[in-house]
Amino acid sequence: MRGLISFLRQCVSTPLNIAISLAICLWLGLNLAELTRWAIIDAVWSGASPQACAGVDAACWLFIKERFGQILYGTYPREELWRVVLCGIAGLGLLVVFSLPWRRGKLLAVLATLIVFPVFAGIMLRGGIFGLTVVPTTRWGGMLLTVVIAAWTIATTLPLGLAVALARRSKLPVVAAFAACYIDLMRGLPLVGILFIAIVLFPLFVPPGMDIDALVRTLIAFALFNAANMAEVIRGGIQAVPRGQYEAAMALGLRHWQAMALTIIPQAVRAAMPGIVNVSVAIIKETTIVLIAGMFDFLGVLHSGLIDPAWIIGDQVRETAYFFAGVVFFVVCFGLSRYSARIERKLDVGRQ
């Protein structure tokens, strides 16, 4: 409540702020009513066929309703969806645990999660052991595929980026030069090109009979590309830590790696938190590019539905699909940014 009052006071604190506030309110008044009419009041929520949306100048939520299963899981077998639900519950449970204020043993829990949970999720989703039916990755799709790619990339990019950042600051010329070349190469190439190499060109250079799953190659391409960006963010955080912190750690008798792990890296991560979140948000939005690799993620499933002849009945279906996609991506990215802001407030020693 106090923050809302402070915000309202800022809106009328100066004549310029008053003018801007009035302009924003006017814009909302002119557009919000029309958006409400299009998205809610005149929208089509149910119907016996796609023809229920024909000739209606409003949102066609019937399209989302009819394809909601594919939007969530793609073509994953319906009788095996309990495995996806179990992985989702486990993942949400871990997020809740990490949000709790306890600290003792939290680092070990995080490390265990980064190692144990991916193995558990991979076994449950892929199957093939413990009596689980094999579900090929070609049947993964929708939000499931988006979450898998985003979660894997973020989880692997953080340690890889940290390792590359430390390698670039190494006193060994060969190691530093190799890390610098890797960063410059990856940041100089578009993700589309790297994904094209992983999906199309890589099979041409491996021995005959050797086949690596397309999703695995995609995950590796995402991790290698974003590790370079994360490395520069973390390197900036390391350089923001005062030199005296390292000298004080060495004066206490710590070795180089002990000083880095216990003193420098925690402060560097705190300083680099906004940049880390920016990279994470970019990763979530980058997942839509897998459509060019023949994978139907969340946006890909919506796009495939739009080319279904039964739903080619007007622009309202396409507008609804992309509006729904925009809302979902906004909610996810905005939620991540708000969570990161909370972490920043907790880690900001100057405000405590």
Residue of 110, 157, 189 whose CA lies nearest to 276: 157
- Which pLDDT belongs to residue 349? 44
Phi, psi (degrees; rounded to nearest 5) at 44: -95, 115
Angle at 45 between CA 40 and CA 47, to 5 degrees: 150
Please compute, for residue 147, the number of CA atoms within 13 A of its CA located in the half-sphere on the CB side: 20
Residue of 120, 127, 131, 132 whose CA lies nearest to 86: 120
Q: Per residue of the chain (352 residues), what is the pLDDT tens digit?
A: 666 666 666 666 777 777 887 888 888 777 788 888 888 888 888 888 888 888 888 889 999 988 888 898 888 998 989 999 998 888 888 777 776 666 666 666 676 677 788 888 888 888 888 888 898 888 888 899 998 998 889 888 988 999 999 888 888 889 999 999 999 999 888 888 888 888 888 877 777 777 788 888 899 999 999 999 999 999 888 888 888 887 888 888 888 788 888 888 888 888 888 888 888 888 888 888 888 777 888 888 888 888 888 888 888 888 899 999 999 988 888 888 887 777 777 766 444 4
- Which pLDDT belongs to residue 310? 85
Domain spans of the chain?
A: 1-43, 59-75+143-352, 77-134
- For CA atoms 198, 201, 203, 206, the dihedral sign is negative
CA of 107: how far to CAs of 110, 111, 114, 282, 309, in Å?
A: 5, 6, 11, 25, 52
- Which pLDDT belongs to residue 7? 62
Report pTM.
0.83
- Which pLDDT belongs to residue 8? 66
Q: Contact at 8 Å (CB) between 219 and 152?
A: yes
- Which pLDDT belongs to residue 131? 83
The CATH number, out of the four listed (3.40.50.300, 3.30.70.980, 1.10.8.10, 1.10.3720.10), of the domain defined by the range 59-75+143-352: 1.10.3720.10
Q: In sequence order, which residues have a C-beta less than 8 Å from that of residue 12 and are 6 or more positions away? A: 18, 21
Residue of 303, 305, 339 whose CA lies nearest to 67: 305
Judged by phi (left if over 0) then psi (alpha if -120 to 50, else beta), residue 296 lies in beta
What are the tokens at 117? 């949970």
- Which pLDDT belongs to residue 178? 92
Angle at 61 between CA 312 and CA 316, to 5 degrees: 40
Partner residues linked to 142 by β-bridges: 297
Residue of 257, 244, 322 whose CA lies nearest to 288: 322
